[in-house]
Structure 1
Amino acid sequence: MAFSTSDLRFQNCGSTNNYTTNSIFSTNLFQALDNLSKYTALTGYNATTTGNLTGESVTALALCRGGLAPSGCQNCITDALSGIQAACPNQTAAQVWFDNCTIRYSGKKFLNKVDDSVIVNFGDWRLGPDPDSFKESALLLVQTLSSQAAVAEKKYSVGRTNITHNLMLYGYVDCTRDLDNTGCTKCVLTAIDAMKLSCLSKWFCWILTPSCNVQFNVDPVHQDWPNAPFVSSFMLMAPPPATLTVNSTRGGRGKGLKIKVSVGVVTTVILAVGILVMKARKRGMRMDPKSRGNEIEEAEELKRGGVGMRKFMYDLHQLVVATDNFSTSNRLGRGGFGIVYKVILIFFLPDTI
């Protein structure tokens, strides 16, 4: 599926209220859209509110596709400015999406607020090869890109992954840059949920919301896709530089284990953080002496801070919960894999320890 950058993909004329020519709102809208035309291309993003003192203010936002050159961004913004006025004439709220940019305006102040209502999803009638495996690869790709976009300075990420030995899947995720990490995460998770219900098995899928968009395609329809960063189906993260501690309670029933988890490279991650998986044992449960001896030995190693090579897997939803939506209060710093967060995991060890 080849795209033309000048094609209007979708419009949302979200208000039934109209403004009149030469009205105060019309004047403020003209100033806001002129601001977008002049100042978006250099950075790929601009947001403005005009007419605060008039009682009929206009908030407007323009966002170009991440990585797009300023000239390409300017071309798209010019087309989108014409497109939004033609598609939604005289409406007090509207948004248009082109392949390389989006423009939104409203009489209500929407900046820094998540709008994750799914406006539309595009999908190809063709199914991806080996649908079950394809769905798994597509989900991993968009989850990975979503977690990267949420913490990126420009709130976007692009990548590719293998689906067969000679076929690649390409993906792209972005959020409007007025959103913080938590807002972007919330938006893209909603988009991915919509993708699961509608087009995860399709050759091509594109979910649009006012605040974010998520897409994948077997065809490399954008210039930066063929050389986009590669996302492996099995990305291993090295042990984070953390001190493992076990806090015993009287009776030995609950042991708390504090670890530091680095997120930002993959959303379904495998953490090689040592011997951390212990099966819960109820008091009085029978086990053979050899098995119990092994568990006691492993627990003692944990208490000494020993690290082995067992692995865990977490998905994006679990990481969102574990980090309190990637809260800055849980942020420890930045490492080679991205931002490092503190989480608390609880494990159960044998009662005799």
Structure 2
Amino acid sequence: MATRIPRFVGFFMTLFTMASAQSLNYVNDDCHNSTTKEQAITLAFRTNLNSTLSRLSSDAATSKGYNHTTTGNGSTPVDDDAVYGLYDCRGDVTGPFCQFCVSTAASEILQQCPNRSSAVIWYNYCILRYSNNNFFGNLTTTPSWEIVEAKNSTDPEELQKAESYMQSLKREATVESNKLYAMGGFNLSDGEERYGLVQCSRDLTNDECSQCLDAMIQKVPQCCGTKRSWQVLAPSCLIKYDDFMFYQITDQTSSPLPNPAKKGGSIGSKTLIIITVSVLVALIFLCCSIYYLWRKYVTNKDELISVNTLRSFHGYVQREEPLNVDLPTIPLIWIQQSTNYFSEFSKLGEGGFGSVHKGNLEDGTEVAVKRLSKASGQGLEEFKNEVIFIAKLQHRNLVRLLGCCIEENEKLLVYEYMPNSSLDSHLFNEEKRKQLDWKLRLSIINGIAKGLLYLHEDSRLRIIHRDLKASNVLLDQEMNPKISDFGLARTFEKGQSQESTRRVMGTYGYMSPEYAMEGLYSVKSDVFSFGVLLLEIICGKRNSGFHLSEHGQSLLVHSWRLWGEGKSLEMLDPMLEKTYKGSEVMKCIHIGLLCVQEDAADRPTMSTVVVMLASDTMALSNPNHPAFSVGRKTKEEESTSKGSKDPSVNDVTISNILPR
């Protein structure tokens, strides 16, 4: 027991440092100008780049805040396939906090700088660089950026004092400590203090660091002379100056220096009192928290799940390689604060899995946090699926997973925020449906089809979604569709045609007959779900519950009957009367009916569906009878049935319809 308490102390101290720290903020990036060579980077380079970023992200958790690595041949100074990578966290940041910054940067640099052979990205706590050229130990001062806040200085001598203090920090970083970074504060005037930081990439020598910092300090008068909050940075170094203590006090942090204008200056009495009270409160809070965590460990030790535990699972998900999820793990305390501790005010919705809350990342990015309920039927297996699959998938029509969290029995997924919610909230709402004209609906249909095609044929993994429906299609700011919820997804091996399961899970009305009744699923199961969704988009009504309408049939059978009678346009949503093109609607209904055929072998693949949607001249085969042809009687048929004396008349009819 005694050995476990120090672990909790370290764990809590990490969280306490995170909670009291400034937010993780994106600062800038340099993707380097794109060239023909960069646009044609090889598959080997992409593979080496992903490996480099993954290694740097993992290494940051246990390092002292800096490391570099090379992946690939690297036998020559310029090797197109080799990737040279480096991260450097700020001097007061190590361990999980450094890893969080580096992991976030590694994920974001691929988004900010796609198809680039060289790039660099800055956050306020770390810098991440990669290149196909060996840049280790090379002094780089261009490009450089000046970031200035609006606060103006009232002291005419502040610029001179600031430059003098930055020079003293430079000497400490390069001569006195040899750490290549230094930070501290000084008294600008009575009751007014200033704080500064200088840091160089730790692959430089002391002399190179000194040259880099001099170059940054020389830029201050031109950009920042009248301000009291600024920073100047380049790939090899940075300087930062502010009117509040933006760094963490550690044994590596410089002590506050005396006022350059006055000898013997000291911290003001008010500041000393504030620091003393803060330390006492923190100690009391720390003791209480250690006791709470210890008690919770004793009572719930079998339920605690670590991120490493999550990453150790592979099983059916990855049969050929160990599980390696290149995804930031976001501290629970940050998510709790962002969502106001999962308050009702922050809630976006709720499903069988649990609730979804709106929050913000530290750079201001709006996110949706999916919180798995402890009472949910969706367990750890489905949670793992979602982390594994979405982390490895990147497509404009798939929702983007930004991070995950497993702490204190919480299982959380952090997604990009979709301001227009889900497709079903528009499609099945009388008022919102009016906003979905035919052009927009056709765009949504095409986007969903391309997302499924990517899953089935173009992604690194061959994925069967198994739960495609209107509520699992989210809409971004421009109403672009993004497929979400991969909790039930499964991978397929090359050459594998179908798989079976005894655990049939999904949504009735969208499930293919072979899956619902026999547990057999394949890519054609997703094609069936797509066909149902396509027909729903056209008519503006749900398949489930459609038999309760005046038609007395399933949506699929009703659509097929109208198609056979040459009256398909009668199923069109009345909201579309003035916006649709008849030929496009007829083609989409035809494709939908091909997708929902009862025999899976008759259904087209998603690659064929995408081609059919894009073509105006392609000849389409006639569909066979759709699945689930059992419908309910209309009121008129029901009254006739009740009045019949024929004992063989059944309340449920089976339709056998032949198209013309």
Judge conservation of contact 2:213–2:239 (CA < 8 Å) in 1. yes
Does residue 213 of structure 2 align to residue 204 of structure 1? Answer: no
Alpha-carbon distance, 1:81 to partner: 0.9
**Cα distance in structure 2, aligned partners of 1:235 and 1:162:** 9
In structure 2, which of residues 200, 211, 215 is the aligned counterpart of residue 186 of structure 1? 211
Alpha-carbon distance, 1:99 to partner: 0.7
Alpha-carbon distance, 1:55 to partner: 4.5
SS in 2 for 1:66: coil
Partner of 2:255: 229
Distance 1:171 1:202, change over 3 A: same
Matched to 2:66, the amino acid is Y
The alignment yields a C-alpha RMSD, in angstroms, of 2.3
Does residue 32 of structure 2 align to residue 6 of structure 1? Answer: no
Distance 1:80 1:55, change over 3 A: closer
Partner of 1:328: none
1:16-27 alignment to 2 at 5 Å? 16-17=34-35, 18-19=38-39, 23-27=43-47
Structure number with the higher strand fraction is 1
Distance 1:201 1:147, change over 3 A: farther
Partner of 2:198: 173
Which stretch of structure 1 is more off in the superposition, 143-152 or 160-169?
A: 143-152
Matched to 1:27, the amino acid is T
In structure 1, which of residues 47, 57, 71 is the aligned counterpart of residue 82 of structure 2? 57
Partner of 2:567: none
In structure 1, which of residues 37, 48, 58 is the aligned counterpart of residue 69 of structure 2? 48
1:123-138 alignment to 2 at 5 Å? 123-131=148-156, 133-138=157-162
Partner of 1:34: 54
Alpha-carbon distance, 1:205 to partner: 1.1
Matched to 1:136, the amino acid is Q
Aligned length: 233
Partner of 2:165: 141
Does residue 106 of structure 2 align to residue 106 of structure 1? Answer: no
**Cα distance in structure 1, aligned partners of 2:55 and 2:42:** 18
Partner of 1:320: none
Alpha-carbon distance, 1:16 to partner: 1.0
Matched to 1:6, the amino acid is L
TM-score, normalised to structure 1, is 0.61
**Cα distance in structure 2, aligned partners of 1:4 and 1:172:** 15
Alpha-carbon distance, 1:26 to partner: 0.7
Judge conservation of contact 2:182–2:254 (CA < 8 Å) in 1. no
Alpha-carbon distance, 1:129 to partner: 2.4
**Structure having the higher Rg:** 2
Judge conservation of contact 2:92–2:248 (CA < 8 Å) in 1. no
Judge conservation of contact 2:187–2:193 (CA < 8 Å) in 1. yes
Partner of 1:333: none
Judge conservation of contact 1:5–1:98 (CA < 8 Å) in 2. no
Does residue 199 of structure 2 align to residue 156 of structure 1? Answer: no
Matched to 1:129, the amino acid is T
**Cα distance in structure 2, aligned partners of 1:129 and 1:224:** 28
1:81-120 alignment to 2 at 5 Å? 81-120=106-145
Does residue 99 of structure 2 align to residue 74 of structure 1? Answer: yes
Alpha-carbon distance, 1:127 to partner: 1.6
**Cα distance in structure 2, aligned partners of 1:135 and 1:55:** 45
Alpha-carbon distance, 1:32 to partner: 1.4
**Cα distance in structure 2, aligned partners of 1:189 and 1:118:** 15
**Cα distance in structure 1, aligned partners of 2:199 and 2:30:** 19
Structure number with the higher helix fraction is 2
Judge conservation of contact 1:15–1:93 (CA < 8 Å) in 2. no
Alpha-carbon distance, 1:235 to partner: 8.7
**Cα distance in structure 2, aligned partners of 1:229 and 1:167:** 17
**Cα distance in structure 2, aligned partners of 1:105 and 1:57:** 10
Identity of aligned residues (%): 28
Specify every segment of 5 or more residues in structure 1 that has no aligned partner in the other structure, as ranges: 237-353
Alpha-carbon distance, 1:228 to partner: 4.9
SS in 2 for 1:195: helix
Alpha-carbon distance, 1:118 to partner: 4.4
**Cα distance in structure 2, aligned partners of 1:29 and 1:102:** 16
**Cα distance in structure 1, aligned partners of 2:164 and 2:184:** 11
SS in 2 for 1:220: coil
Matched to 2:207, the amino acid is T
Distance 1:235 1:103, change over 3 A: farther
